[in-house]
Amino acid sequence: MNKNRIASISVSGSNAVAGALLDTSEQLLTLMPDFVCQDGLAACDAVMQFLLMMRPSTVVVNARSGEKVLKRLDEFEDAAVHVCPSSDFAYKTACNRLLSLHIDAAVHSSASVAFEGAHSNHQTRMRLYLETIASLQNVQMVGCAGALLSHVSKHVLQSGESVDDNDCDFNVTSIEAFHLNSHMILNQDCYTSLNIFRNEKHPNMFSSDNKDGLSLFGKALLHQWFMRPSLQISVIRARQMAVSELMARKNKNVVDTLRDAVACISNIPRICMKLKKKLTVQEWEALLKCSFYCLKIRAASDQLTSAAAPIFEKIREFFDASLLKEVGGCINTVIDFELSSSETAVTVKHGVDQELDELKRSYNGLDDLLSRVAQEIAQTIPDSVSDALNVIYFPQLGYLITIPLREDMNSQESFMIPGLDFQFCTSKTVFYKSAQMIELDETLGDLHSIITDKEIEIVQRLQETILMHADALIQVSYICAELDCLLAFADAAEKYNFVCPTIVPDSYLEIVQGRHPLYEQCLEHFIGNNTCMGKGSASSGKSVQSDDTSSRASTAETDDTSKDKDLKVMLLTGPNFSGKSVYLKQVGLIVFMAHIGSFVPAKHAIIGITDRILTRIQAVESDTKIQSAFMLDSQQMAYALRNSTGSSLVLIDEYGKGTLHSNGVGLFCASLVEFLRRQVDCPNVIATTHFQQNPFTEIFAHNLLPETPALQQFKMDVFQGTVAEEEQLTFLYRIVPGNAGSSLGLYCARLAGISDSVLQRAKEWTHFLNNGSHLNKEDESRVNVAPQQQQQLHPSVDAVIKYFDSFDCETGDIKALWDLVRFSEAHAV
């Protein structure tokens, strides 16, 4: 979480949510207009989603937001939560606070310019400006903004704390609107289980450990894109166009130049915020580099004459060459970077100011001058004190004559030297003034301070000049950050052979030869798989074709099933280790990647706009969440059931295990039926399970799931054979219609290193449990147990009779007797 970000939220009634966020380092206020939760999205889920996307370090919440929300926030570990009285959110005061902000853009906005001439005061201009961003009729939103501004000024500024690392004053220079329903909703569990973020700051989708290649600022924007996948086709399309153009072979040289240039651009908005104060040498250097490299970007983009992506249009429009040259020229003329780095302070170049040059010349010759003066004075005083005489300068005290303290200097008279006025003495030195010293004070004064003041004045003038262009520089650097992200997408697409997905408005998914972007990097051969589901699959008339020769046998079957209309729930079975989870995650990742504007790992993909990805994949372990794994699984499932819509994607990996088998089966099937029951509002669901493999609880045998084209069974294909009487399995990692007969758990356990003796015994018991009958001779002969244990396992007829004979009905262990009866029955003893 970013410590410079403070959010405020308010929930009214049961489902109206609004919020605001202040980023003090970017001086940006984000407003989330009043939002009525629909499609099962609970207010507290919307609040959590807003916080996940905004990543604040402090949250101010309206005390009237309802118990559920407050409780949820109470458990929120990532930010400090302040519950504030609803009076802090009062509309009128909040509105006044908002209208009192001084935003430059408000003064120059076309709305206020149009209003010019009439009675235009600051508040009127702000009102007009705000109306173009988010209507002030959003009562809750305005309340949130007011409470937020009041909190920041009260708690942060009054405590004397700096609100950010950069020592910037609390200020707002721009305002933007944020609409929750313009972005795909993914909760933290989903980000974790799909491995989108390994940790908070590490987008590891494109690289397992190499985080860089992106500028710092670009990285921040990429993080934002990852946190806010778009639901707007135009936004996604614009990014895709740019990626295509950046990948074009003919543009390679230009793209290399662009890549090198954006990597040299720092966080310019942060530096521009400091222009009213004082910049360090490094910050001046960053501004100079920005102007230089932006000129290079502009020149390189001009060579991409056919590039039509909006990013290149923006570069052509906003990278004003004359402005960039002026900025770079001013900085380069005034600041002496070489001297500045050795002096640790900003130093002005020679030739900028004549007076300063003169002062510096005098200052540089000062040592010589003072030693000459010292020699002259030495000739006018007794030899006994003239030897070690010196002249030095003390700030505030001016020029002074010094002589070392002698042992015989023990009375007032002993300090007296003709022609010199005693001033003070330290343990080693005695200080005097003389007429020459006073003359030096008057003619030279404090040269160093005069030079410093002069330099500060010149640099200040430079800052003011650059400040006039700050808005343009900030805009240019935002475009650079965007270009940086798009270059990263293009790099990944080229390196990993991703394709551009077609984005369509309906909830349709067609992925041909989809791959998992991370697994395919770790495995020598990754087998691609197809997905075809959702509304529109039948109408599009497209069948999923697989080019992979190894899966040709299954292609015909896959084609058949993909032609089935309106597949919404895909039930996937398969042995352990056959690739079910990888498939599930790969579909989730491909859909996610498509929504951030990235290309996707597949041969071809059509991705419908997906409003939410909801996962029940793995219990996300947390040291602080004291809940059972099954409880966490169920919470994820409940969230998916509650929040999914007809345009959502739900990924369920083995829900129901970890509790009583029959309960698990019941819960799993009932959840799928609940999705199906919604008909047109049924989300696209992919669910993996082992359940139907047990004949006692077989889902389909008991008609637990309805027969409908909306639900179909698929399995992970496995080649089963025997080599030298040993069962041999080959995982083919491809999806085919049907359902897997067995989990082949024992085989997988053997692969995992479980010993033969344990496996043999497990096999016997599995057989016993599945059939409810005695073991056959062949199985028995394979049981590799010690004779003594075998005796316990298979008691002889004699032993059974003896036990019954000697059983004492009053004191005997009835349960042990009952077990023996059942066991004898099963083994026909």
Ligand X SMILES: Nc1ncnc2c1ncn2[C@@H]1O[C@H](COP(=O)(O)OP(=O)(O)OP(=O)(O)O)[C@@H](O)[C@H]1O
655 binds ligand X (CB under 6 A): no
Question: According to CB under 6 A, which one of 579, 601, 608, 795 is a site residue for ligand X?
Answer: 579
The answer to whether the CB of 490 falls within 8 A of the CB of 240 is: no
For ligand X, the closer CB: 648 or 689: 689
Q: How far is the CB of 579 from ligand X (least distance, A)?
A: 3
Among 581, 644, 647, 692, binds ligand X (CB under 6 A): 581
CA-to-CA distance for 61 and 11, rounded, in angstroms?
Answer: 9
Is 149 among the residues that bind ligand X (CB under 6 A)? Answer: no
Q: Are 623 and 660 in contact (CB under 8 A)?
A: no
Share of the chain residues as helix, strand and coil, in percent rounded to the nearest 5: 50, 15, 35
CB of 744 to ligand X, least distance (A): 10
CB 581 to ligand X: min, Å: 3
Which CB, 503 or 518, lies closer to ligand X? 518
The answer to whether residues 416 and 422 touch, using CB atoms and an 8 Å cutoff, is yes
Q: Does 590 bind ligand X (CB under 6 A)?
A: no
Which 491-520 positions form the footprint of ligand X (CB under 6 A)? Answer: 519
Distance CA 512, CA 528 (A): 8
Select the residue interacting with ligand X from 582, 613, 705, 736 (CB under 6 A). 582
Residue with tokens 């200020």: 171
Identify residues 722-751 at the interface with ligand X (CB under 6 A). Answer: 733
Residue 195 engages ligand X in binding (rule: CB under 6 A): no
The rounded distance, in Å, linking the Cα atoms of 314 and 442 is: 59
For the window 545-574, what string marks contact with ligand X as x by the rule CB under 6 A? -----------------------------x
Which x/- pattern, by CB under 6 A, does the window 323-342 give for ligand X? Answer: --------------------
In the structure encoding, which two tokens stand for residue 431, read together? 């200080």
Reported residue count of the chain is 829
3-class SS of residue 80 = strand
Nearest approach, Cβ of residue 526 and ligand X (Å): 4
| CA 675/CA 688 separation, integer angstroms | 15
Cα–Cα distance between 259 and 491 in angstroms, integer?
10
* Beta-sheet strand order (sheet of 16-23): 80-84, 58-62, 5-12, 16-23, 28-36, 174-177
Closer to ligand X by Cβ: residue 574 or 795:
574
- Does the footprint of ligand X cover residue 217 (CB under 6 A)? no
> CB of residue 723 vs ligand X: minimum separation in angstroms?
21
In 3D, which of 476, 104, 489, 464 has the Cα closest to residue 267? 476
> Is there binding between residue 37 and ligand X (CB under 6 A)?
no
> In this complex, which beta carbon is closest to ligand X, that of residue 360 or of residue 604?
604
Q: Check residue 580 for interaction with ligand X (CB under 6 A).
A: yes
Interface pick for ligand X out of 174, 291, 340, 578 (rule CB under 6 A): 578
Least separation in angstroms between residue 635's CB and ligand X is 20
Closer by beta carbon to ligand X, 115 or else 519: 519
Calculate ∠ Cα 234-589-47, nearest 5°: 70
Query: Least Å distance between CB 574 and ligand X?
Result: 5
Q: Binding residue for ligand X (CB under 6 A) from 437, 527, 593, 682?
A: 527
CB of 524 to ligand X, least distance (A): 9
Q: Which is nearer to ligand X, 527 or 637 (CB)?
A: 527
Choice between 70 and 748, CB closer to ligand X: 748
Kindly write down the DSSP assignment for every residue of 296-309, as one continuous string. Answer: HHHHHHHH-TT--S
- The single residue among 35, 292, 526, 691 that binds ligand X, judged by CB under 6 A, is 526
Residues binding ligand X: number (CB under 6 A): 13
For the record, the structure tokens of 455 come out as: 């330099």
Closer residue to ligand X in complex, CB, 273/735: 735
Decide whether 47 or 740 has the Cβ nearer to ligand X: 740
Instruction: Judge contact between 141 and 31, C-beta under 8 A.
Output: yes
What is the C-alpha separation between 496 and 651, in angstroms, rounded? 25
Of 35, 577, 655, 747, which one interacts with ligand X (CB under 6 A)? 577
Measured torsion, CA atoms of residues 224, 226, 232, 237, in degrees rounded to the nearest 10 = 110
Whole-number minimum distance, CB 300 to ligand X, in Å? 40
> Which of 576, 618, 635, 760 forms a contact with ligand X (CB under 6 A)?
576
Taking the least distance from each CB to ligand X, the nearer of 287 and 587 is: 587
Q: Are 307 and 245 in contact (CB under 8 A)?
A: yes
Is 714 one of the binding residues for ligand X (CB under 6 A)?
A: no
Query: Which is nearer to ligand X, 125 or 616 (by Cβ)?
Result: 616
CB of 487 to ligand X, least distance (A): 29
Owner of token pair 């009054």: 158
Nearest CA among 346, 4, 289 for reference residue 167: 4
Least CB distance to ligand X at residue 577 (A): 5
Which residues have C-beta within 8 Å of that of residue 769, sequence separation ≥ 6? none
Show the 3-state SS of 430-453. Answer: EEEECHHHHHHHHHCCCHHHHHHH
CA gap 734, 715 in Å, rounded: 8
Where does this chain bind ligand X (CB under 6 A)? Answer: 519, 523, 526-527, 574, 576-582, 733
